[in-house]
Amino acid sequence: MVQSSILGFPRMGVNRDLKKATEAYWGGKLSQAELLEEGKRLRLAHWKIQKDAGIDSIPSNDFSFYDHVLDHIQFFGAVPERYTQHKLDPIDEFFAMGRGHQKEGVDVPSLEMVKWFDSNYHYVKPALSDNQSFLLVSDPKPVREFLEAKEAGIVTRPVLVGPVSFLHLAKADRGSSVDPISLLEKLLPVYEQLLVKLKEAGAEYVQIDEPVLVLDLPQKTKDAFKLAYEKIASLGSSIPKVVFATYFGDIVHNIDVVKSIKGIYALHVDLVRNPEQLDTVLGAIHPEQSLSAGVVDGRNIWKTNLKKAIETVETAIQKLGKERVIVASSSSLLHTPHTLASEKGLDAEIKDWFSFATEKATEVAVIAKAVTEGPAAVRDVLEANAKSVQARATSKRTNNPEVKERLSKITEAMANRKSAFPTRIAAQQKNLNLPEFPTTTIGSFPQTKEIRVQRNKFTKGEITAEEYDKFIEKEIQDVIQIQDELGLDVYVHGEPERNDMVQYFGERLDGYVFTTHAWVQSYGSRCVRPPIIVGDISRPAPMTVKESKYAVSISKKPMKGMLTGPITCLRWSYPRDDIHQSIQAQQLALALRDEVLDLEAAGVHVIQVDEPALREGLPLRSGKEREDYLKWAVQSFRLSTAGVADFTQIHSHFCYSEFQDFFHAIAALDADVLSIENSKSDAKLLKVFIDEAYPRHIGPGVYDIHSPRVPSEQEIKDRVEEMLQYLKPKQLWINPDCGLKTRQWKETKAALTNLVNAAKFYRSKY
Ligand code: GLN
Ligand code: ZN
């Protein structure tokens, strides 16, 4: 009676099959027909998993060869002319928008890609023009895939991005100034046509995702909801029943909008992220509407506490009755790995705490069964689940009394440097003796094939630890010699020993575990495999001191130690859900603090703590939650770095320079030097540094490291000239945008030669 549903399933397949197929197709090794066939195979496999799990409402159109927003751009006929003019096959036009197309005389760059809310998934941003029109393509994907499933005996619930979210997430294309939301009335007819077609094809329900409802919205967007859903409601029984889905936040602040939306069959809310919104939502829901209760986490990998989830669903049932409640995943399961069954190497105790997409589908079905038939119907499952939950809560692997003890002793003073910046910089100058316009790099140097080969051999046990260490030392010697030749001022050791900037640290910290197959889509065919924080974090031994100390011992110039900051470690991992993220950040911060002090003691007097993920952790809405986040994020950075003496210089690095909305937090880090990615942005972004009278040093990147192109000395000088409009000569460092690990040596040397020469030019000028 109580229905179960999943909002979306991961697309990659058990062995990243989709990645392999699309990349093979791009590389000309797979035909178009083979690619399409593989997509079909994956969709069927994923529907079947959910059916076998006992899910009633199984999504379709959640699959995509690249990105689901991009699918909508194409089937709504919102493809910019620079793509359509080439008359490519639809699938090639689709990939051209996703990743650019440079073949057979066609040369178009990709559309912009941005983060999907606060997840690590990226969507393709619709780019709409002043005279934008929309036209439903003749064989729209949602209908095609619905029929495909139906043929296989599975009646699915197609998923669409809603009209308001589609427009709110869009932008005006270059050369246009249209406000996307103003296009609503033009867009609605294609939704209408699509919904009618879905109904004709046999769809009883459709899921319309409107996640933007969790954001702070301008009035015109709120009004757009009313307009759009009045129109949709007016279509009555000529379209499927609408499940209106929100996720990644609460909708309490937009509850008036929710109340104004009539004619929808059910409202879905995320009760994992915001369980407290349940009361308000129950109070706002119309008498004819159902509630889809998102109680199984679509964003993390923990086993659901079934007892708690059932209680939440029961609360809703008490108010609405069984017929009006649906049990669901909190969001699409896109953000979770495919199946736990692939993890052969995980410790059994810990594996019992996890649940990936396939296992989560079963959880949703079990909860629905428990509330329909009573808990006795699933007693064994509930008992086993309670045991796992209890075991995790009390395990030695999650609880480390020493860490707790240390956390309780953190004081304000520990987060403050000994002196203010003017005193520090004077001490650092004496210690480091750097020229004006000092030059440096961001940490990594090219990760050559040889480095990967040796690392692989070492992991597989084909070479000994000593042989591997020798190899790494030799790499360090080489990059130091190259930096000597280039004439850089602050050296790095090049990070040859690091596979990944978070995994490397995770592997050296207690409290982390790693998977072998738990990949999730980041964008297009790109997947990441985040490490998992399972318990209290501590540092059993120094993590980077050996390499940095060696580098110092053979270097004539100051050597910069290189660490990944607490927020980046946290954000690029699956965090625990049993303690607040601020506590996890503090634990990471204390471990890093010890590392910073060990580096200092080893003679490393410039230390960079990278925090590229600081910004993406910003809560979606402004206000208290965001301010709280910034407070603990800044505090944890300071806790990691503030223990050093005045003469030690703390650097931090960010892969962006849009600091406008949280500049106070960047300033509050109190880093002596910030290096930021800036070469492709407008130098005007640096204006905030003068406006706010920022007193410390800054190295805005002078060239783009994502491209093999070598910037000329003149280009770099021009860039520096622009920067000097906003920054004082004494503040300015000269460095690339980011680490150089994806580059080749040839272009790296050429670019850095020009960079050093540009710095020398300014030194002689000022
Ligand atoms: N130190 C890192 C590197 O150079 C920084 C990488 C990053 O900012 N993403 O590779
Ligand atoms: Zn970077």
**Known binding residues for 5-methyltetrahydropteroyltri-L-glutamate:** 19, 120, 526-527, 572
What does the pLDDT read at residue 49? 98
What does the pLDDT read at residue 745? 97
What's the pTM value of the predicted model, to 2 decimals? Answer: 0.94
As for the ipTM of the complex, it is 0.99
**Known binding residues for Zn(2+):** 653, 655, 664, 677, 738
Ligand 1 centroid vs 495 CA: distance in angstroms?
9
Q: Look up residue 548 and give its two tokens.
A: 């940095």
Q: What is the DSSP letter of 342?
A: G
The full DSSP string for 52-114 is: HHT-SB-EES---SS-HHHHHHHHTT---HHHHTT---HHHHHHHHHH-EEETTEEEPPPPEE
**Residues framing ligand 1 (Cβ under 6 A):** 442-444, 495, 501, 562, 610, 612, 653, 655, 738-739, 741
Cα-based distances in Å from 648 to 427, 607, 619, 667, 739: 8, 8, 33, 19, 22
Task: List the residue whose alpha carbon is closest to atom 6 of ligand 1.
Answer: 739
Identity of the residue numbered 494: G
What does the pLDDT read at residue 92? 97
Q: Report which bound ligand comes closest to the CA of 446.
A: 1
Check: CB of residue 667 under 8 Å from CB of residue 692.
Answer: yes
Ligand 2 centroid vs 612 CA: distance in angstroms?
6
What does the pLDDT read at residue 70? 98
Q: Which atom of ligand 1 is nearest to the CA of 653?
A: 8
Distance of alpha carbon 25 from alpha carbon 616, whole angstroms: 32
**Known binding residues:** 19, 120, 442-444, 495, 526-527, 572, 610, 653, 655, 664, 677, 738
Task: List the residue whose alpha carbon is closest to atom 5 of ligand 1.
Answer: 739
Residue 480 exposed, middle or buried by CB count within 10 Å (0-12, 13-18, 19+)? buried
Ramachandran area for residue 524 (φ above 0: left; ψ -120 to 50: alpha; else beta): left
Q: Report which bound ligand comes closest to the CA of 679.
A: 2
Q: Which atom of ligand 1 is nearest to the CA of 654?
A: 8
What does the pLDDT read at residue 262? 85
Catalytic machinery residues: 706
Q: Which atom of ligand 1 is nearest to the CA of 442?
A: 4
Query: Which residue from 501, 568, 675, 752 has its CB within 8 A of the most atoms of ligand 1, so it is best to mutate?
Result: 501
pLDDT tens for each residue of 491-528: 999 999 998 999 999 999 999 999 999 999 999 999 99
Q: Report which bound ligand comes closest to the CA of 701.
A: 2
Angle between helices 306-320 and 379-394 (to 10 degrees): 130
Residue 200 exposed, middle or buried by CB count within 10 Å (0-12, 13-18, 19+)? exposed
Distance of alpha carbon 532 from alpha carbon 69, whole angstroms: 28
Sign of the torsion angle spanned by Cα atoms 338, 344, 346, 348: positive
Identity of the residue numbered 183: L
Ligand 1 centroid vs 442 CA: distance in angstroms?
6
Q: Which residues of the chain are under the pLDDT cut of 70?
A: none
Tokens 């209760």 sit on residue: 293
